[in-house]
Amino acid sequence: MSATILVLNGPNLNLLGTREPSIYGAETLADVEARLAARGRDRGVGIDFRQSNHEGELVTWIQEARDRAAAIIINAGAYTHTSVAIHDALRAAGLPVWEVHVSNVYRRETFRHHSYISGIAEGVIAGFGTRGYDAALDAAVARLAAPPPS
Ligand code: CA2
């Protein structure tokens, strides 16, 4: 059975492609999901792609990932900057994590410069638009194929 990579999206990311294209681009989240599903198929992994506006739902999905997924790619949206609960759940899951942001958060307001996720992530991708998800997927696939020596 092939590995599954959980791709989680936090609050308001369901609005991608509908508003603020100068910050977030024109692609919808459904476009990103379709592209990642195809990329995952090409690379022999399954993609479980989800979005929620609710912190607790994201926490539950991260907890469940422990038994269902081999890696997590997460754009936690604004919860990136606020959520100790998501930080704790990611730590507890014990899976490799890649953090993605569509925009370059370091060019924006200072409250977006701190992340509760970066410190436990294998890698952080910000400011490459929705292509950041593709880069994170490739990094996760490479890591699953050749885990680092322990
Ligand atoms: O750049 C990113 O991917 C963010 O995670 C997006 C979050 C923001 O709070 C983070 O600081 C950076 C916001 C997602 C909102 O997405 C929208 C998309 C279109 C229109 C309005 C909001």
**Domain range annotation of the chain:** 3-145
Q: Residue 14 C-alpha to ligand 1 middle, in angstroms?
A: 9
CA 23 to chain CA mean position, Å = 18
Mind listing the pLDDT tens digit for each residue in 87-105? 999 999 999 999 999 999 9
| CA 1–ligand 1 middle distance (angstroms) | 34
Between 149 and 40, the more confident residue is 40
Q: Supply the residue whose CA is at minimum distance from atom 18 of ligand 1.
A: 16
Give pLDDT tens digits for 18-35: 999 999 989 999 999 999
Torsion of CA 132, 136, 141, 146, to 10 degrees: 130
Whether 103 lines ligand 1, by a CB cut-off of 6 Å, is yes
Evaluate whether 140 touches 100 at the Cβ level (below 8 Å).
no
Q: Compute the distance from residue 20 Cα to the ligand 1 centre, in Å.
A: 9
pTM for the predicted model, two decimal places: 0.97
What fold does the segment set 3-145 form as a domain?
Answer: Rossmann fold (3.40.50)
Residues with catalytic annotation? 24, 101
Q: Ligand 1: does its nearest atom lie under 6 Å from the Cβ of 16?
A: yes
